Amino acid sequence: MTSRTPLTILGEDEILFSEAISGFAKEVIAPLVSEMDKNQAYDKSLLPKLFGLGIMGIEVPEKFGGAGANFFTSCLAVEEISAVDPAVGVLIDVQNTLVVNAILRWANDAQKAKYLPMLAENTVGAYALSEESSGSDAFALKCRAEDKGDHWVINGNKLWITNAKEANLFIVFANVAPDEGYRGITAFLVERGFEGFEVGKKESKLGIRASSTAELIFEDCKVPKANVLGQVGKGYKVAIETLNEGRIGIGAQMVGVAKGALGHAVAYVQERKQFGQALATFQGVQFQVARCATELEAARLMVYNAARLKDAGKPYVRQAAMAKLFASEVAERVASVSIDLLGGVGFTTEYPVEKFYRDAKIGKIYEGTSNMQLQTIAKMVLADGL
């Protein structure tokens, strides 16, 4: 048992799980991180290993080939993987907290029987909501779906879709009745091989560079009637409720970012000597480490609390927004201080801390910007009290 995870926070099985995932990340992923970042792509050997480990289908029920664990366990995996490479962490996060979660909640029995075994065994999923004109204003989407009797036809584009290059299953949101506004939004399960569907340009990004972020193009894309996820015209509920859960996963990713960056800084200041003694012996350094460690622990507990509430079936939206907001801020601050503690070498690519600093920035942007989280929190506090 590690000192930072007493049984009051994690149970023994959860500690063992976290340690196992951490060991895998350090042994298997860590040697690949630098090249994947340079190449802006995952190493070809990685995906089969992630599926083999079982962390691509953590919440998938055992009868469908998954681990049958809970949402909290998914967040633990995202945290530990992100402490080594947040670009891999977001792959696991989108797979579990968005795609698998949406199918578990909204899919019918036939859809679950078809897609959950695929997601647990060898299929990467992606979540396609954002468009050029609909980022924070998610329901301003222009992607259209038309009822053709025995199938639907989707036309339009999606932008900034995580996992796009690796995915073979996409949850796509399109409006079937534009005149009805958000009440026309519908979610569809789209397979990569569907006629009229293409994955387009991959973005070159500041951080999480190995993670693919790409455009999706729909030109008279034919989707079977059986592939509507949930009810026609209820896609807005699928989107809102899934993103509320996904924000906890991003919080876990940001906790991992802070943990990874600070871990390297702590090791460095204990080895690096100036004026005849290790940097860690100087009070100014100690205070910076202490403050970072405190903020990291606070962010971790906020994420854990939100995840526990979600699993318990209790209200968690406010806590999810707070956890994502705070964890993303902590990740950026801790990564920045970690570079300071390394000094000149921290500004070079020779040490991994600069990558954590680049990776941290996305936490304030995707799955709801910090301003959107503040708005959610303020509305709930003003309406419901503290």
Mind telling me the catalytic residues? 367
- Nearest to residue 53, comparing CAs of 84, 23, 85, 90? 23
Strand, helix or coil at 216? strand
Give the Å distances, CA to CA, from 348 to 35, 122, 344, 355: 15, 37, 7, 9
Query: Residue 188 in contact with residue 152, Cβ under 8 Å?
Result: yes
Distance separating alpha carbons of residues 135 and 157, to the nearest angstrom = 13
Distance separating alpha carbons of residues 192 and 206, to the nearest angstrom = 27
Write out the DSSP string of 130-175.
-BTTBSSSGGG---EEEE-SSEEEEEEEEEEEETTTT-SEEEEEEE
Query: Residue 141 in contact with residue 134, Cβ under 8 Å?
Result: yes
Q: At what angle do helices 12-24 and 71-82 cross, to 10 degrees?
A: 40
Q: Which residue has the tokens 């080895």?
A: 271
- Nearest to residue 200, comparing CAs of 152, 164, 243, 163? 164
Give the Å distances, CA to CA, from 295 to 177, 202, 255, 288, 330: 46, 34, 10, 11, 6
Residue 3 DSSP symbol: T
Give the Å distances, CA to CA, from 90 to 165, 210, 220: 14, 10, 30
- Nearest to residue 132, comparing CAs of 28, 62, 203? 203
The encoded tokens of residue 69 equal: 């664990």
Distance separating alpha carbons of residues 255 and 277, to the nearest angstrom = 31
Q: What single-letter amino acid sits at 384?
A: D
